């Protein structure tokens, strides 16, 4: 069963490269990335398995949050592409 998750992250060491983490998040399934340090993904994995997988691509001092979404949402200020993805996938 496909679920929807919010992934938030902060890479706390100065000068860190987000590209590998972002690439690995995008490989998890359909994704939305209209905020700098946040993704919404659709995946058949659990939040724990997503967290455990992504911790391989961050440092021990970084922060990572994976939260299951229930479909209720409200937003403001996104372009039509970002808004349409949310309407169609939450």
Give the model confidence (pLDDT) of 25-59 as tens digits.
Answer: 999 999 999 999 999 999 999 999 999 999 999 98
Tell me: the pLDDT tens digits for 3-31? 999 999 988 877 777 899 999 999 999 99
| Close Cβ partners of 59 (under 8 Å, ≥ 6 residues apart) | 11, 12, 13, 16
Phi-psi group of 9: left, alpha or beta (phi > 0 → left; psi -120 to 50 → alpha; rest → beta) = beta
Which has the closest alpha carbon to 52: 61, 62, 64, 44? 64
Which has the closest alpha carbon to 35: 72, 7, 3, 66? 7
**Cα 72 off chain centre by:** 17
Per-residue pLDDT at 68 exceeds 90: yes
**The residue to which tokens 């994995």 are assigned:** 45
């Amino acid at each position: 069963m496909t679920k929807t998750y919010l992934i938030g992250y902060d890479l706390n060491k100065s000068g860190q490269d987000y590209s590998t983490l972002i690439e690995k998040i995008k490989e998890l399934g359909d994704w939305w990335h209209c905020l700098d340090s946040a993704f919404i993904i659709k995946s058949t994995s659990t939040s724990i398995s997503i967290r455990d997988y992504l911790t391989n691509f961050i440092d021990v001092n970084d922060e990572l949050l994976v939260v299951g979404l229930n479909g209720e949402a409200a937003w403001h200020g996104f372009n039509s592409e970002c808004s349409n993805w949310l309407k169609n996938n939450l």
